[in-house]
Structure 1
């Protein structure tokens, strides 16, 4: 038993070393080999006594023929963020864990090549996608709508699996959720289900909120459905909902500043890809005007936002890893329906709540999946 615990500890150490290497390489914005050293295990001692040993063979055995090396498959990953973005690292970490559970180990039968493109730099994302597809990997993974669209345009015949895309059929990535068609499939987000809970969550932590500004991207078709869902449930909670467009940082700041002049306001930020490049600005303005805010993605909370409510990221990447595994084993993306991860996570930033003078009730604390200090 002690030996077993030692091997497990060594394995955890190896994984931590592997992830530290990933963090360093992400900082250099380069191709990222996720090295995973292999452990060699010795053979068990033979317990037979000399008298029990079999007689030596009369002829020398034939030399063993070495097994052919296992084929190494290549996986390209395109993610958005910057070199200090811990959430970008967490996404890659979650994907790697999901692949390991399916038997895909970097350095043994899988080579992972990741590219990081600055959020909001559409031209850079397009070029990075072309560079990654130009390496001719066996399969590609995109971590959001922007990277999925860039890879879909650059991939050619290379299969693509996406994660974290709201309404992939509506934005034109797939023909339908049941029959994606083409060479792309993945894990979508059903944000309309989360949308109806955002006003309730915000009211639970900030009971005085009576007006809510919904930060939206006017060019995103999915935002219209979310705003309709929020507007349907808000009146029953005593909340009046408004939509604010975020065409530019200047427009966004002007809109939030104007909205904050009337008391008892709050913010709802609908989807990650509509505002990731403005994340620090939104969080800063919410703090400046003391506006309680709820976000669709955890990354806002780790950046200082109050709270988020959205799908379980690890569950999403387990599903994506399953599709990568199936495609590498011969399945066609066109035959794999778009999946949606079940379950949502509520994440609350305690420090931000204190700064806003808000108390986290025992009921809300019990519902939280994570409390960040």
Structure 2
């Protein structure tokens, strides 16, 4: 072998392990996903968020590493799950509930945290303001309190005879009392009496409906916490058993679980926008420089099958306002 060819071959042999080492050492960002929902890794509720990440080039196990950490319906687990994110050395945290975000913010002021459609991040102390979040938290807000009052108005419009309303709320979540306050203000102007029932676990649901029956409740609302999504089938079953016309915060509670009505924000849109914030932050943007975004799209969904089962006639004028009617 000629000397020049030998040197070239030797140089290539030396360069190859260096290139291989560089490839192996390439940092893949780690995303820690915190959620209340059981079995988070297969939850369809957050599909748009993960689809948004894939559209931006983030493939789990290849260009990003995703750790799904679920509280399995027990909000008190969030502090330990947030600590797990630190142990895993997450580069970024995505949180789908206010308690999860609060737990993450309490344990770290340096790891960026992206909120996925949370209730009221200003009132719950997660950000300084929507325009200038400050700190390490930003993301999406679903305007929970304002939309809760709108749901009460819509249900009263659809069923004018309602004067006593059972309200199921997960008061352990900081966004729940804010929604209850907004509902109480709207109820006063509408001439409706609210019966607030605190639901902490699925086992509390039957007792809550029994209490509503004793107070002769004529309608049902739930505030916008994850427990009522996770337990949507049970809530709809009890609403049907007690023959209560119901308005829900999430379309899935109507389309998937047979609820009567929902007035919902476009969560898919917010989730996809949350994915773009993850992308921007991983590329160097600071959370404090990214304004908290709010929903711009809302949808009224009505299930006429459920209305018929309840012996309820929805006014035509109200039906015409629906974005979707399930027949």
Pick closer, same or farther for the CA change 1:249–1:174 going to 2, 3 Å.
same
Q: Mapping of 1:1-373 within 5 angstroms?
A: 72-83=28-39, 88-91=43-46, 93-106=47-60, 109-123=63-77, 125-155=78-108, 157-234=110-187, 237-246=190-199, 253-261=206-214, 265-273=218-226, 275=228, 279-301=232-254, 302-372=256-326
Q: Quick one: structure 1 residues 369 and 108, their matched pair in 2 at CA, closer, same or farther if it must change by over 3 Å?
A: farther
The corresponding residue for 1:32 is: none
* C-alpha distance 107-252 of structure 1, shift in aligned 2 (>3 A): closer
The change in CA–CA distance for 1:85 and 1:214 in structure 2 (over 3 A counts) is farther
RMSD of the alignment, in Å? 3.4
Q: Report how far residue 291 of structure 1 moved.
A: 0.8
Give the TM-score normalised by structure 1.
Answer: 0.69
Tell me how far apart the structure 1 counterparts of residues 83 and 326 of structure 2 sit (CA, whole Å): 38
- In the TM superposition, what is the alpha-carbon distance from 1:276 to its structure 2 partner? 5.2
Aligned residues: 307
Q: Structure 1: which 5+ residue stretches go unaligned?
A: 1-62
Alpha carbons of 1:190 and 1:98: their partners in 2 closer, same or farther (altered >3 Å)? Answer: same
**Whole-angstrom CA distance in 1 between matches of 2:60 and 2:41:** 23
Structure 1 residue 188, shift from structure 2 partner: 1.5
Contact 2:117 2:271 in 1 (8 A): no
Q: Which protein has greater RCO, CA pairs closer than 8 Å, 6+ apart?
A: 2
The answer to whether the Cα contact below 8 Å between 1:216 and 1:269 also exists between their aligned partners in 2 is: yes
CA contact (8 A) 2:40 2:70 kept: no
Conserved in 2, the CA contact under 8 Å of 1:272 and 1:297?
no
Asked if the contact 1:145–1:273 (Cα under 8 Å) also holds between the matched residues in 2, the reply is: no
Segment drifting more, 348-357 vs 272-281: 272-281
Are the structure 2 counterparts of residues 175 and 272 from structure 1 closer, same or farther at C-alpha, using a change threshold of 3 Å?
Answer: same
Shift, 1:246, TM fit:
3.4
Further displaced range: 140-149 or 253-262: 253-262
> Structure 2, unaligned stretches of length 5 or more?
1-11
Q: TM-score, normalised by structure 2?
A: 0.78
Whether the 8 Å contact between 1:310 and 1:346 is mirrored in structure 2 is: yes
* Distance in 2, Cα, partners of 1:224 & 1:121: 16
